[in-house]
């Protein structure tokens, strides 16, 4: 069985391995011991705090194989972005150049630097190690965040965003960044990506074009990747689109990958979730149930599993197995929040 739980200091080696495996373009996990340990410490603080509104909390979870004790994945939530450091995006808009006298009307796409997403909640840092890929593990890592946010809504914004990795090659070269590098930054993409990952964002404000960029002035290669995702990111984007996320014209300032957004109340897994007290019954869970993502209602002692659960509507309870109850660290009568793995439309 796999469980998802809060990260702790003992998980450093596993997190470092994940950072190495994730590669260039995975900005939220730089291969830097000081910063990774700081990330773990921030998460431990966030899970232990009493919170009444979203702030500078960073929740980082790990997926653990309970048989081997191995950490096989990670996933995270930033409660409110841009409160300490500026949170930059390009917004893709339009300008019209028209002359009625000459009967000329041209509409041109432009990219404008903005901080429009300041204060919203960001889901981030999702990575599943290769040996654990398969089954529902990838979806579990993604969807568990929606259940956690729905259960603890006071900790998060109503607007949820996800920055999707843009197009780059195996060496980490981004066609979009190549144009910016040539004309403004004189800094290669892996270096710029790494500096952002370690929190050094001042260079963005110092070197970024001060005025909107006309898209038709970019190289053809750069134009082609605006709003496109890296090949390895397509499954993650499809999963979020199934949940109700969509891109509203915002793209990353480095690789032009899309940022997608949704309201928490409208995210499908959150919307379909239910909260009930549990009854522990191995046979009842297996015979009358379906596979669900299940979380306990704790923050500091948060646990999540994906396993069989049956609902007794007459009794108003959720029926789970002893193994599931143990993994969730709960007793009969305790509350759980859950959502089905497969939606029945």
Residues with catalytic annotation?
Answer: 230
CA atoms of 225 and 320, how far apart (whole Å): 46
- Residues 67/143, Cβ–Cβ less than 8 Å: no
DSSP annotation string for 51-64: -SS--S-EEEEEEE
In the three-class reduction of DSSP (H, G, I as helix; E, B as strand; rest coil), residue 76 is classed as: strand
CA atoms of 215 and 313, how far apart (whole Å): 56
DSSP annotation string for 178-212: HHHIIIII---HHHHHHHHHTT--HHHHHHS-SSP
Q: Of 216, 239, 244, 220, whose CA–CA distance to 229 is shortest?
A: 239
Q: In Å, how far are 42, 179, 237, 287, 303 from 3, measured between CA atoms?
A: 21, 44, 23, 22, 7
CA atoms of 46 and 308, how far apart (whole Å): 30
- Share of the chain residues as helix, strand and coil, in percent rounded to the nearest 5: 35, 30, 35
- Residues 18/61, Cβ–Cβ less than 8 Å: no
Q: Return the DSSP state at 336.
A: E
CA atoms of 340 and 204, how far apart (whole Å): 42
CA atoms of 125 and 142, how far apart (whole Å): 10
- Residues 254/222, Cβ–Cβ less than 8 Å: no
As given in the structure block, the two tokens for residue 280 are 């522990």
The torsion angles phi and psi of 123, rounded to 5 degrees, stand at: -90, 140
């Amino acid at each position: 069985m796999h469980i998802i739980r809060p990260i702790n200091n003992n998980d450093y080696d596993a997190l470092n391995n994940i950072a190495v495996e994730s590669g260039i373009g995975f900005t939220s996990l730089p291969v830097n011991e000081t910063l990774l340990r700081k990330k773990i410490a921030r998460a431990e603080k966030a899970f232990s705090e009493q919170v009444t509104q979203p702030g500078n909390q960073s929740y980082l979870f790990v997926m653990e194989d309970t048989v081997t004790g191995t950490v096989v994945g990670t996933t995270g939530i930033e409660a409110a972005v841009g409160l300490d450091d500026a949170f930059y995006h390009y917004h893709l808009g339009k300008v019209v150049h028209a002359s009625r006298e000459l009967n000329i009307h041209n509409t041109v796409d432009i990219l404008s630097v903005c901080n429009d997403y300041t204060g919203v909640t960001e889901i981030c840092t999702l990575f599943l190690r290769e040996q654990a890929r398969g089954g529902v593990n990838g979806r579990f890592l993604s969807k568990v965040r929606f259940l956690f946010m729905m259960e603890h809504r006071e900790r998060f914004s109503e607007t949820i965003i996800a920055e999707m990795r843009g197009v780059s090659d195996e060496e980490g070269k981004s066609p979009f960044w190549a144009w910016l590098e040539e004309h403004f930054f004189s800094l290669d993409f892996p270096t710029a990506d790494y500096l952002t990952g370690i929190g050094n964002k001042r260079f963005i404000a110092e070197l970024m074009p001060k005025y909107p960029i006309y898209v038709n002035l970019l190289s053809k290669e750069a134009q082609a990747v605006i709003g496109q995702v890296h090949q390895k990111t397509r499954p993650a984007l499809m999963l979020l689109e199934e949940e109700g996320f969509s891109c509203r014209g915002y793209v990353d300032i480095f690789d032009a990958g899309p940022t997608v957004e949704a309201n928490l109340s409208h995210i499908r897994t959150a919307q379909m979730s239910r909260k009930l007290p549990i009854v522990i019954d191995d046979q009842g869970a297996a015979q009358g149930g379906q596979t669900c993502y299940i979380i306990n209602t704790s923050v500091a002692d948060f646990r999540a599993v994906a396993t069989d659960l049956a609902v007794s509507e007459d009794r108003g309870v959720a029926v789970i197995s002893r193994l599931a109850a143990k993994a969730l660290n709960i007793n009969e009568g305790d509350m759980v929040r859950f959502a089905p793995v497969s939606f029945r439309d």
